[in-house]
Amino acid sequence: MVTTFSTMIKSVNPATLEELAEVRVPSSDVISEAIKVSRKAFEKWSGLPLKIRLDNIENFQQLLITQKDEIARLITLESGKPLLESYLAELTGPLDTCAWLVKEAEKLLANTNIDIATPLLWGKKHYLRYEPLGVVGIISPWNYPFSIPVMTMLMALAAGNTVILKPSEKTPLVGLKIGELFKQAGFPEDIVTIITGGGEAGEHLAKADLARLIFTGSLNTGVKIINATAPNVTPISLELGGKDTAIVLPDAPVERTAQAITWGAFTNAGQACASIERLYVVRGGNSELLINRIVQLVSKLKVGDPLLETTEIGPLIDVQQFDHVVNLVEQAVSAGAKVLCGGEKISSPELRDKGLAGYFYQPTVLINVDHNMRIMQEETFGPALPIMIVDSEEEAIKLANQSTYALTASIWSANLTRAQLIASKVQAGTVFINDCLYSHAVAELPWGGLKRSGFGRSHSRFGLLDLVNIKHISVDKISWLPRLWWYPYHSSKLKTVRCGLDYMHKKDNKLASLCGFIANLTKRQ
Ligand code: NAD
């Protein structure tokens, strides 16, 4: 059946609300055809020597570095993040992924021998081959529209897969630019396909018979992806939302901790899956000074045109996201939270005069919050930091773990031993000590969460191995010896097996068991 989707989507600059372009959305039959073509292209691409695939990746790296200014500007124009963040959070990860793959992929994807201890398997060789899977679908969000898909695309392509990317409908131009870059880098036709469009296009892709689907986005859509992929039993990874915590101990140094937490809560206007969205400050020591310093720093953040080099906070992506943040802050305040700074829409004449008609929200800090408030439970995805003062580390850990999400967390203390002990008790995919958030941009480090933050790991060797079939090959090198588990069954075989098990697992009489095993093995099989 051919489903026709809305044929055009608009790309809008969230800072000015100006339309940047209209982008065509393919119909479902075009998407189905693209998957078929990608499957065909896979046959050739997967057969190429890894070295050739890595040459393409090296070309891509050079292209990225040459075009970095143009790409960073486009990311800022379409997503609204400050320019510095477009370089640091969007380009470093893909560039480092290229460098890492070129250096390490041959080693990581080389066959691995497995030594087996049991004498029952003497004479066999076991090894693993890491084989490409086929067509890998990637559905990605708007908040990091470049780094999120590109880091996974590079790994999928290096491993020999072909890729179909469905970028967010809010950042289609960045999606199309990604496709253009892969083409310019010399990747053969149909190895990378970009399907622009919204949820319907994503759903159509998710329902297709893909070799794997990597989804990054909200919890709600993640559940839809589980349902859409179930009939084909398509293997999926889900990178979903977060409600990430920071736990600050009384001995944490005030200035450094306040600077870092302010960044962790407000970078990308709080629209990061791993933004600090709950801050638990353990009472005593520096706790009051720290909260005061955070409020000072947040009050001074420069909100405005994200293309300016000094802007620190851009707009929220759209009115829905803006309304969501307003609602959460209002609900918290009506339930007793106190606003320490911010808490309002920014409608300064200065912004309007510069044509900044987008949805800017004052960086906001709240105190007197509790877990009955929505802002301590739901993902905020905006520039609002709720702070709770707690009496002990144990209370902080308990509250930190009282969430349906578990993506990242951070612990702040001068005592690294103590901080690491707390890290072991906090539920998360990553726990940072005295820093936060940054590791998404690091190719070598695994990324992913627990609970409703999803499952699977991207980046690192774990992310790479998620994109291959780990094929075990078993070779029997002894042609004269029938195996013990084959027919016929008889008593000397039984004795051999019993002696073999004793040799492997009994603490004493090892030598006798081994002798019994060998003696029986050579009897009539
Ligand atoms: P979203 O779920 O609205 O959309 C994500 C992608 O899914 C988009 O491309 C969208 O078009 C597509 N989509 C929507 N409905 C679909 C459907 N029914 N079937 C298939 N695809 C569909 O999320 P968003 O607003 O773009 O992104 C923000 C969310 O992403 C936040 O919750 C954030 O925490 C999460 N996120 C997670 C990570 C992570 O690494 N865990 C990283 C970034 C963002």
Confidence at residue 193, expressed as pLDDT on a 0 to 100 scale: 98
d(CA 488, CA 524): 11
Residue 106 forms part of a structural domain: yes
Q: How far is the CA of 239 from the centre of ligand 1 (A)?
A: 9
Residue 30 forms part of a structural domain: no
Residues 291, 417, single domain; the answer is yes
In sequence order, the 6+-apart residues with CB closer than 8 A to the CB of 443 are 93, 96, 97, 99, 100, 101, 151, 459, 460
Residues 236, 248, single domain; the answer is no
Pairing of strands 384-390, 276-282: parallel
Q: How far is the CA of 216 from the centre of ligand 1 (A)?
A: 5
Residue 14 forms part of a structural domain: no
Indicate the helix (H) or strand (E) that contains 365. Answer: strand 364-367
Residue 119 forms part of a structural domain: yes
**DSSP class of 122:** T
Cβ of 446 less than 6 Å from ligand 1: no
Residues 325, 403, single domain; the answer is yes
Number of domains in the chain: 3
Q: So which residues are the catalytic ones? A: 239, 273
**DSSP class of 58:** H
Residue 25 forms part of a structural domain: no
Residues 352, 310, single domain; the answer is yes
Residues 253, 154, single domain; the answer is no
Specify whether the CB–CB gap between 381 and 261 falls below 8 A. Answer: no
User: At 286, which amino acid appears?
Assistant: N
Residues 368, 507, single domain; the answer is no
Kindly list the distances between the CA atom of residue 159 and the CA atoms of 59, 100, 102, 134, 465, in Å, as whole numbers in the listed order. Answer: 16, 13, 12, 10, 9
Q: How far is the CA of 259 from the centre of ligand 1 (A)?
A: 29
Residue 450 forms part of a structural domain: no
Residues 387, 407, single domain; the answer is yes
Residue 286 forms part of a structural domain: yes
For the domain that residue 277 is a member of, what is the CATH number?
3.40.309.10
Residues 209, 333, single domain; the answer is no
Confidence at residue 344, expressed as pLDDT on a 0 to 100 scale: 86
Residues 167, 293, single domain; the answer is no
Residues 82, 144, single domain; the answer is yes
In sequence order, the 6+-apart residues with CB closer than 8 A to the CB of 357 are 16, 17
For the domain that residue 231 is a member of, what is the CATH number?
3.40.605.10
Task: Quote the tokens at residue 172.
Answer: 């289609």
Q: Any idea which residue has 């859409």 for tokens?
A: 228
Confidence at residue 2, expressed as pLDDT on a 0 to 100 scale: 53
Cβ of 203 less than 6 Å from ligand 1: yes
Outline where DSSP puts E strands in 391-481. Answer: 405-406, 408-412, 430-433, 450-451, 454-455, 468-476
Residue 318: name the closest of 171, 202, 146 by CA: 171
Residue 19 forms part of a structural domain: no
Q: Which domain holds residue 100?
A: 37-240+461-470
Length of the chain counted residue by residue: 525
d(CA 363, CA 271): 12
Across 217-251, b (16+ Cβ under 10 Å) vs e yields bebebbebbeebbeeeebbbbbbbbbbbbbbbbee
Specify whether the CB–CB gap between 364 and 295 falls below 8 A. Answer: no
Residues 124, 112, single domain; the answer is yes
Mutate to test the pocket of ligand 1, among 143, 213, 328 (most ligand atoms within 8 A of CB): 143
Cβ of 239 less than 6 Å from ligand 1: yes
Cβ of 90 less than 6 Å from ligand 1: no
Nearest CA owner, ligand 1 atom 16:
199
Cβ of 448 less than 6 Å from ligand 1: no
Cβ of 240 less than 6 Å from ligand 1: yes
pLDDT in tens, the chain (525 residues): 455 566 899 999 999 999 999 999 999 999 999 999 999 999 999 999 999 999 999 999 999 999 999 999 999 999 999 999 999 999 999 999 999 999 999 999 999 999 998 888 999 999 999 999 999 999 999 999 999 999 999 999 999 999 999 999 999 999 999 999 999 999 999 999 999 999 999 999 999 999 999 999 999 999 999 999 999 999 999 999 999 999 999 999 999 999 999 999 999 999 999 999 999 999 999 999 999 999 999 999 999 999 999 999 999 999 999 999 999 999 999 999 999 999 988 866 667 777 899 999 999 999 999 999 999 999 999 999 999 999 999 999 999 999 999 999 999 999 999 999 999 999 999 999 999 999 999 999 999 999 999 999 999 999 999 999 999 999 999 988 889 999 999 988 899 889 989 998 998 888 888 888 888 877 755
Cβ of 430 less than 6 Å from ligand 1: no
Give yes or no for a cis peptide into 488 (omega within 30° of 0): yes
User: At 329, which amino acid appears?
Assistant: V
Nearest CA owner, ligand 1 atom 14:
199
Query: What is the CA 465 to chain-centroid distance, rounded?
Result: 15
Residues 211, 80, single domain; the answer is yes
Q: How far is the CA of 67 from the centre of ligand 1 (A)?
A: 27
